[in-house]
Each structure stands twice: as C-alpha cells, then as structure tokens.
Amino acid sequence: MINNSIEEFFEQVITVKLSPQRDSVDIIDQTLLPGKIKRISLRTKEEVWEAIKKLRVRGAPAIGVCAAFGLAVTVNGLTSDDFEAFFAGFKEIKDYLASSRPTAVNLFWALNRMEKKVLESKDLPVAQIKELLFDEALAIQSEDIAISHNIGEFGFGLMKALKKEGRELGILTHCNAGTLATAKYGTALAPVYTALEHGWSGSDVHVYCDETRPLLQGARLTAFELSQAGVTTTLQCDNMASMLMKQGKIDLIFVGTDRVAANGDIANKIGTSGVAILAKHYGIPFYVCAPSSTVDLDTPSGADIPIEMRDPSEVAELWYRERMAPGGIDIFNPAFDITDHELITGIITERGILYEPFSKTLEIAR
C-alpha cells in the first residue's frame, strides 16, 4: 500500500520540471537549502549553464533532466526554419551546456540523446523537431523516475534481508543521492523511500548522513529531505564514519555515482572512497546505486575519468564569516574521487544488482 505522506513529500520536492508554458525550466535552488525552499525559472542557455555549474541543480540524473529541458527550451527560441541553420544553433547551445560540468556522464548522455532525436528527424519541419525535443526531454524525465523506482526496489530487497526484528536498520550514505538529485526517489536513497512505500515506518530505518565537506550536501540536502520524509536521521562529520562503523551502528552503505567506468571503478563525491575503505575494513556491505546511463563503457577505469577541480574558496571561506585558513596557501578541492571496484560489494542498476567481474556484468547492464 502506498504511504500517502511519502507521496505528498515527493510532490513538494520535485527537483526539476518543465514550466506549463514550456518557456522555462523550473528548479529548486539547492544552494539555498535547507534554510529556504525557493523555485527559480531558467529561460536562457546562460541561466541553465550557471544553474548546473553553481550546483543550483545537482546530482547526475537531475543534471541530465535539467540539461534536456534546458536544451529544448532554449532551442525553441531559434528562429530559422532551415534545418542546417537550426542544427548549427542547436549544436552551439548543446556544446555550451556540455561545458558546465565535466564528470557527470548523464549530462552528456542526455544532450547526445537530444541530438540523436534531431538527426533522426531532420527531414521534418523545424517546428515539428522542436516539439519532438520537448517530448524527448519529458521522456528522459519519466524514464529517470522509473529507473530510480527500480533501483529502490532492488535496494529494498537488500534492506529486507538485513533487517532484524525489533531493531532499526542502520544505513550510511555520503553526499546527496536522494530525490533532490533525480526526477524522483533518488538513487542511494531510493531504497529508503521504497521501504516507506512498502509500509516501513520512519523509525524502522536509521540513516546516518556524512555531512560531505566542503559543500555539505549531506548536511544541507540529505538530512533535510530525509527528515522531511519522516525518516530517523543522524548527521555526522565525514571523519566520524569510522566510529559509527566500529560501534556496529551501520548495517549497510548506499552511495550514488556520477560515472561508472568499464571495470567497475566509480566517480562519486569526494570522500566516497574513504567510506568504501572503512566499509571493507569493518566488513560492511558497500553498494553503489547507479542508473545504467551513468555506465561509461568507453572509459576503461577510474584513472580515465576527468575530475572536476573547484574553487578553493569553498574550502576556506564559503561557510565562514571570516576566512578559516591562512592566506597564501594552496588548497586542494576536487569535487569527486575514484572508488576502486575491489571495494564495491555490488552496483545496483534499474536492471538488477551487478557483482564482480564488473567488466563483464556492466556490459550486460548497459
């Protein structure tokens, strides 16, 4: 039976949607959470680019959906009815949006899918192609919801197997891979929301959220959405995860990913590899929740994944009234790190749970 309260929660936190007039992309500005829930409208390619770059919209699947909607909206403003001129304008906008963030493969996957739709339809009138682009972007959104739901069901199966009568199930997660990072459900948090849909109470599961320095996605976003959904939630600093595991409070770890290499290495928010190393030491199952669209078989290993380097001020200044580090020093601020496939128990896709050898099982999933 569907839990009505969880459905109401999902309705309140739709991350990305197309405006009814189809003239803008409507997003929750995640840089303002948890203090303020504010929706903003993106109408120009520059606004869409800035929203992705500045993490107003973030999470690999949500970035893909936003980029698809943004491309459809901005391309709709192109005035030429000649296909070659239209396609030149389309390519310019597409390439510009693709430059916003380098690591999340969903961004390029969604934009390339939109380009494929244009090329398949090149013999049609430009006005009709524009309508087909809106349809394709909406299909990407709908498919993302279905994908996340399936990931949730497979992950919930793992939760049921580990749940002990009369005891809450302890789950640790890093960064935010919840409904705010997708069209609905999330990836790493999809199993938790699926549990609520299946009748579990918010006290049957206890989610421990790494705060996720330096941008605090765990503190600002994951803890926010879980508490809003009524799930028992504890926030801790990233460097406290080992103590939680040692105390036996963590039964299972779910994380998301922005890209999965062909050998099963994954790129996820900085700090994920440390969690995986700790999990290996303490014998805790470590699962990566990954839509098949994040699988990049053209990238042999994690060493080949480009890692975005971000503004040093995020580390030394962003959350402080005054700078909290000496001036003139170097600051290392990668957005992601690589978790080696040897540390991963399994990869949960919408088609099932994959295990080693990932180099073979990922080919089937993709």
Active site residues: 258
Residue 87 makes CB contacts below 8 A (sequence gap 6+) with 118, 122
CA–CA distance from 324 to each of 2, 147, 237, 335 (Å)?
A: 47, 42, 17, 20
DSSP letters spanning 206-269: EEEEE--TTTTHIIIIIHHHHHHTT-EEEEE-GGGHHHHHHTT--SEEEE--SEEETTS-EEEE
Residues paired with 289 in a beta bridge? 348
DSSP letters spanning 73-94: HHHTT----SHHHHHHHHHHHH
Residues 347, 366 contacting (CB under 8 angstroms): no
For residue 74, which of 56, 106, 38, 50 has the smallest C-alpha distance? 50
> φ and ψ at 297, to 5 degrees?
-70, -10
For residue 58, which of 69, 66, 68 has the smallest C-alpha distance? 66
How far is C-alpha 301 from the geometric centre of its chain's CA atoms?
20
- β-strand pairing of 169-173 with 252-255: parallel
- β-strand pairing of 266-269 with 259-261: antiparallel
Dihedral-angle region of residue 55 (phi above 0 means left; psi in -120 to 50 means alpha; beta otherwise):
left
Find the largest Cα–Cα distance for the chain. 67
